[in-house]
Structure 1
Amino acid sequence: MLRLIAMLLTLAAPARAQDVAGEFDYYVLSLSWSANWCAYEGDARNSPQCDGSEDFGWILHGLWPQYERGYPADCRSNFRNPTRTDTAAMADIMGTSGLAWHQWNKHGVCSGLDSEDYYALSRLAYGKINRPAAFRGLTDTVTLPASLIEDAFVRDNPGLDPDGITVTCRQSYIQEARICLTRDLEFRTCGGEVIRDCTLDSALFEPMR
């Protein structure tokens, strides 16, 4: 009987409204340390991003439209999808054209922009951030507190407050630095669902390949 009631309540629940492209509150700019991603995932996938001939440090994982609570997804877009040439042109800051395609398909379609303008805005946002150069000088794998990553970004980016950035971890590695930006790409405070810092005191951090 309880199972039947639960099923009926589920069927009676209102359907989630379709998110509308262009209707969101701010952006989250996500930066990923390439060597760490390669260590816990990319090497196993034989990603060209992890080839020793590359010189990737903090790459652009994505520019994500965000609500104050939650984020839009599965937006309907009237714009054409990017071409292979379009996505390949983003590989210099995103590591691979595949990531560029994925980010458009998941997040770019909710931006209200066409793919060309979305990629241009993503590149502009990426270029706005001073990515701490100290990490590029590492020669060995180190362990460090995740808070050190946040401190370094705050120090090197005047106007960026600790509440405007969060650092995430995955499989004991530093994963991403996520920076909150207004729709005009100015620093702003992150929403409560975004600002959940990794609390590891000894997170792994790989040197550049």
Structure 2
Amino acid sequence: MLRRVAVSIVFVGFFSLFAQLLPTQSQAQDRRQNAPGAFDFYVLALSWSPSYCATSRERRSDGRADPVQCGARPYSFVVHGLWPQYEKGFPSYCQVPAPRLNRGIVSTMLDLMPSPRLVFHEWDRHGTCSGLAPRAYFETVRKARAVVKIPDRFLELPDTLTVTPDEVRDAFIKANGGLGEGGVAVNCSSRYLSEVRICMTREFGFRDCPEIVKRACRRDKVVMPPVRGGASKAEAGPDNAAAVTAGDKAPQAGPQISPQVSVSAN
């Protein structure tokens, strides 16, 4: 009896030691975790700006929204970010402190990303994981955005629209050849459509991303608040997404960082 107990203890101890030496899936991922440039694909996150403004007003006691993103300029879909991804999981804050981001670069991105603080945040959290210098990373953001065509019905939305997440997904698929159901996720925040996430190869081709799609919105219906006064030039599609005039850019003073930077995945 004692011999069997001793053998069992030795076996359990050996098995435990052996198990500790085997890398788990998370440990195996950690071998390249946060290594700049070591990732599998990108997610381009496009936020529906009117939803952000609606929720911003609802959260504030004075009923006023972010004056930068929710002012006179009629933002519709804006770039939340371009996120390096692993097949499972994602890197973040790959260089701490992050290389300094020139404010001139920030100002050039305000046609696509309406908050300077959002631009800084996205560089610190995601851009540093791209393996690119700041200017090259934001040029990559612009190239990725230029690949995606916003469906016509969302360029100028004069009235509140209630849709299913699948309707929004299918509209993007129809507008973008090569994009399939497995490569696009529609996300929601409470009752509002918050953003559309599109998965891309490092060469800007569309690709499937099951880990992103499985976290998509599961609500039957979502609300898309209307665009303020018409579509912005930056949302007119790939041909016109490259630039807007300086007078069309969002104000740069006193921005509040968009809550989109606090979404669950990124």
Give distance in 2, aligned partners of 1:140 and 1:74: 39
Give distance in 2, aligned partners of 1:72 and 1:40: 28
How many Å apart are 1:76 and its aligned residue? 2.0
**Residue 158 (structure 2) aligns with:** 139
> Match of 1:168, SS?
strand
Give distance in 1, aligned partners of 2:106 and 2:156: 29
2:186 to 145, 158, 167: 167
- 1:33 correspondence with 2:52: no
- Give the direction of change, closer, same or farther, for the CA distance of 1:42–1:23 in structure 2 (3 Å limit): farther
Give distance in 1, aligned partners of 2:154 and 2:108: 26
How many Å apart are 1:87 and its aligned residue? 0.9
> Match of 1:28, SS?
strand
Equivalent runs, 1:5-44 vs 2, <5 Å: 18-41=33-56, 44=60
Q: Deviations over 1:165-207 (max 9, x none)?
A: 01000021001100000011110011x3211221222211111
> Match of 2:90, SS?
coil
- 1:73 correspondence with 2:88: no
> Does the aligned pair in 2 maintain the 1:168–1:175 contact within 8 Å?
yes
> Does the aligned pair in 2 maintain the 1:163–1:189 contact within 8 Å?
yes
**Residue 75 (structure 2) aligns with:** 56
Q: Which moved more, 1:160-169 or 1:128-137?
A: 128-137
How many aligned residue pairs are there? 196
**Residue 108 (structure 1) aligns with:** 127
- Consecutive unaligned residues in structure 1, runs of 5 or more: 1-11
Give distance in 1, aligned partners of 2:101 and 2:95: 15
> Does the aligned pair in 1 maintain the 2:56–2:66 contact within 8 Å?
no
Q: Percent of counterpart pairs with the same letter?
A: 37
> Does the aligned pair in 2 maintain the 1:60–1:126 contact within 8 Å?
yes
Q: Deviations over 1:146-169 (max 9, x none)?
A: 111100000000000110101000
- Consecutive unaligned residues in structure 2, runs of 5 or more: 1-19, 21-25, 229-266
**Residue 202 (structure 2) aligns with:** 183
Structure whose alpha-carbon radius of gyration is higher: 2
